[in-house]
Chain A
Amino acid sequence: MRNAETKSELSSRSQQDLFDYLLRLGDDRLVLGHRLSQWCGHGPILEEDLALTNISLDLIGQAKFLLELAGEVEGKNRSADDLAYLREAIDFRCLKLVEQPIGDYAYTIARQFLFDVYDYYQMEQLCDSKFEKLSAIAAKAVKEARYHLRHSRQWVLRLGDGTQESHRRIQTAFDEVWMYTGEMFEADDLEDRLLEEGLAADLRTIRTSWAALVHQTLVEATLTAPSDEQYMQSGSRKGFHSEYLGHVLSELQILPRSYPGAKW
């Protein structure tokens, strides 16, 4: 397939697939950005207040572009705000990984690192998507993802190889969050079809790169990688979420839900 510039060049099947795919990308970043923003003013050190707020801002910015594009692809005149503020939890496509509460700083960092590695390889591949509007978003996002990854990786090393307490906390965090990593790589028919058309990223190769960097980092941080044999959560991409998502949305959506159509 040659490069697709507008939705009119996409088949209606691809259009539906692409809409769903863009929601997956956008919702991950929206919800994780929301979680990170909860640290604002409460970080362990002023520099981290700045860094976490900055990363939150990047992720929400990316979500805005991705949801805008999703609305455009869908062709039903829905804006990024409509998609962020007026969908129910079952229509969200984010991972349970990003829905989890912020926990302590170790939990925030462990989750962030696992997502940042995923995000980085995903966006790197999407730079070559034949859907030009998506590759343009990815080209900007990959630069941000590289910085996010450098930040969280550095903190995994510091906490892992810092004090006994920090080691224990970050190890516990990785152990607890691990079961949410399986569904990052759950490829379904939809992603396979998009991959065949050169529109989506290949989750299988991302998984290989992800596992390599995560393991290498954990070893360097003197941490033990949890076993992949353990039970993995599943189904987020089809709308099976944790209970946390409903609470995130009730907060996030309160104003547009309370005053439909109002301008702010």
Chain B
Amino acid sequence: MEDANKLKEFEARIERGEKIEPKDWMPERYRTQLIRMISQHAHSEIVGMLPEGNWITRAPSLRRKMSLLAKVQDEAGHGLYLYCAAETLGVDRSELVGEFLSGKAKYSNIFNYPTLTWADIGAIGWLVDGAAIVNQTMLAKCSYGPYSRANLRICKEETFHKVQGYEIVCTMAQGRPAQRKMIQDAVNRWWWPSLMMFGPHDKNSPNSAELMKWKVKLFSNDDLRQRFVNLTVRQARAAGVTLPDPDLKYNPETDNWEFGEINWDEFWSVVRGNGPCNRDRMRARRRAHVEGAWVREAADAYAAKQRAKAAKSA
């Protein structure tokens, strides 16, 4: 009975647009859904360091190298404060990392695709960060205070990343034939996976309705995807690259760019672990974890010794 009243009050607060804070009462489903979403977001930031990190040592100028280092560093930072945001819900970071390393927790599918040329760094910044911004701009307004604030901060940095990525795209699109070929190829490969980043169609998205009721999500997957396409078509034209979709056409009635059917078989296949890089990404993260174990143990042992010393001298 108590819970029913609490739930009513909770939903009324959400209706009024109030933020839910860590110490506030919340339904268990709200808590578990948020933990799932925030930790997936955190794992994605961490795995996302790998495809881009692949090009740091080969960046074509010192300026580009520094921007890419800064970008990947930002992603590690996002991962860190997203884990902190998840911890406000009563879970431990090591627990979440454990679920990720065991394969139980997911991360964004997009990072299971490879970065083949430098042009991929441009395409990722423009398309992948661009899609992430559309999603995170919404999440910055979500009902859970810590997650909303984390996304606000992330969006500011991602916007900068997108500008840098788009600049690479434009530079290469105006470059030599070999560069133009590379950038078009990268756009061809990243376009459809970027659209898949918004998740399945609304009718196939089991969590969406509940998340929208509690204002964790404010828009549906399909609405966000359409918003991204509308933004990106214009940018592609300005940059001088084409998007690999023969069905792309403008509908003046809805003011939308309509696009072709997404290959959902590919999407689900990659989700199930069959993408070009799923195994590489997981292997890299597991190896870092295993090979770093002695370092973490040393840090703990040293801290314990320091505490013991301090206690003795006190």
By a CB distance below 8 angstroms, the chain B residues around A213 are none
**How distant is B308 from chain A, measured CB to nearest CB, in Å?**
12
In the complex, whether B32 has a CB less than 8 A from a CB of chain A is no
A38 touches B57 (CB 8 A): yes
Tell me the A60-117 residues at the B interface (CB within 8 Å).
60-61, 63-64, 67, 80-81, 84-85, 104-105
By a CB distance below 8 angstroms, the chain B residues around A263 are 171, 175
Q: Given contacts A37-B56, A255-B118, are A159 and B295 in contact (CB under 8 A)?
A: yes
Q: Which of B62, B73, B76, B168 has the most CB of A within 10 A?
A: B62
A40 touches B53 (CB 8 A): yes
Q: Given contacts A46-B80, A57-B70, A262-B176, are A40 and B295 in contact (CB under 8 A)?
A: no
* C-alpha gap A105/B292 in the complex (Å): 8
B50 touches A57 (CB 8 A): no
Q: Given contacts A41-B72, A45-B292, A53-B73, are A162 and B62 in contact (CB under 8 A)?
A: no
In the complex, whether B58 has a CB less than 8 A from a CB of chain A is yes
By a CB distance below 8 angstroms, the chain A residues around B118 are 255, 264
By a CB distance below 8 angstroms, the chain B residues around A231 are none
A163 touches B292 (CB 8 A): no
Q: Which of B70, B291, B301 has the most CB of A within 10 A?
A: B301
**How distant is A153 from chain B, measured CB to nearest CB, in Å?**
13
B46 touches A264 (CB 8 A): no
In the complex, whether A161 has a CB less than 8 A from a CB of chain B is yes
Closest to A61 in B: B66
* C-alpha gap A144/B184 in the complex (Å): 40
A57 touches B284 (CB 8 A): no
In the complex, whether A236 has a CB less than 8 A from a CB of chain B is no
B302 touches A158 (CB 8 A): yes
By a CB distance below 8 angstroms, the chain B residues around A81 are 61-63
**How distant is B121 from chain A, measured CB to nearest CB, in Å?**
10
Closest to B179 in A: A262
By a CB distance below 8 angstroms, the chain B residues around A38 are 57
Q: Given contacts A45-B292, A60-B65, are A50 and B80 in contact (CB under 8 A)?
A: yes
**How distant is B35 from chain A, measured CB to nearest CB, in Å?**
18
By a CB distance below 8 angstroms, the chain B residues around A159 are 295, 298, 302
A40 touches B302 (CB 8 A): no
A41 touches B80 (CB 8 A): no
Tell me the B265-314 residues at the A interface (CB within 8 Å).
284, 287-288, 291-303, 305
Q: Main SS of chain A's interface residues?
A: helix
By a CB distance below 8 angstroms, the chain A residues around B287 are 42
By a CB distance below 8 angstroms, the chain B residues around A53 are 69, 72-73, 76
In the complex, whether A189 has a CB less than 8 A from a CB of chain B is no
**How distant is B70 from chain A, measured CB to nearest CB, in Å?**
6
A41 touches B291 (CB 8 A): no
Question: Of A41, A45, A49, A54, which is within 8 A of B296 by CB?
Answer: A45
By a CB distance below 8 angstroms, the chain A residues around B295 are 44-45, 48, 105, 159, 166
* C-alpha gap A80/B63 in the complex (Å): 10
By a CB distance below 8 angstroms, the chain A residues around B70 are 57
* C-alpha gap A64/B297 in the complex (Å): 37
A162 touches B58 (CB 8 A): no
User: Can you list, as one digit per residue, whether each of B70-92 has a CB less than 8 Å from chain A (1) or not (0)?
Assistant: 10110011011001000000000
By a CB distance below 8 angstroms, the chain A residues around B288 are 41-44
Q: Given contacts A158-B302, A162-B302, A262-B175, are A252 and B58 in contact (CB under 8 A)?
A: yes
By a CB distance below 8 angstroms, the chain A residues around B56 are 37, 40
A41 touches B66 (CB 8 A): no
* C-alpha gap A161/B297 in the complex (Å): 11
By a CB distance below 8 angstroms, the chain B residues around A47 are 80
B292 touches A44 (CB 8 A): yes
B62 touches A63 (CB 8 A): yes
Question: Of A54, A163, A264, which is within 8 A of B61 by CB?
Answer: A264
A64 touches B66 (CB 8 A): yes
Tell me the A155-179 residues at the B interface (CB within 8 Å).
157-159, 161-163, 165-166, 169
**How distant is B84 from chain A, measured CB to nearest CB, in Å?**
11
By a CB distance below 8 angstroms, the chain B residues around A104 are 291
By a CB distance below 8 angstroms, the chain A residues around B60 are 85, 255-256, 262, 264
A259 touches B76 (CB 8 A): no
B49 touches A60 (CB 8 A): no
* C-alpha gap A85/B59 in the complex (Å): 10
User: Can you list, as one digit per residue, whether each of A24-59 has a CB less than 8 Å from chain B (1) or not (0)?
Assistant: 000000000010011011111111111001101100
Q: Given contacts A41-B284, A46-B76, A262-B176, are A162 and B299 in contact (CB under 8 A)?
A: yes
In the complex, whether B241 has a CB less than 8 A from a CB of chain A is no
**How distant is B95 from chain A, measured CB to nearest CB, in Å?**
15
Question: Of A50, A56, A166, which is within 8 A of B298 by CB?
Answer: A166
Closest to B80 in A: A46
Given contacts A41-B46, A44-B292, A46-B76, 18 further A-B contacts (CB under 8 A): A40-B72, A41-B49, A44-B288, A45-B292, A46-B46, A53-B69, A53-B76, A60-B65, A105-B291, A158-B299, A158-B302, A158-B303, A159-B302, A162-B298, A162-B301, A251-B58, A255-B60, A264-B64
The 6 A-B residue pairs whose C-beta atoms are closest, nearest first, are A44-B292, A162-B298, A166-B298, A44-B295, A255-B60, A264-B60
11 A-B residue pairings within 8 Å (CB atoms): A34-B57, A45-B292, A46-B46, A50-B80, A53-B73, A57-B69, A80-B62, A105-B292, A166-B298, A251-B57, A264-B61
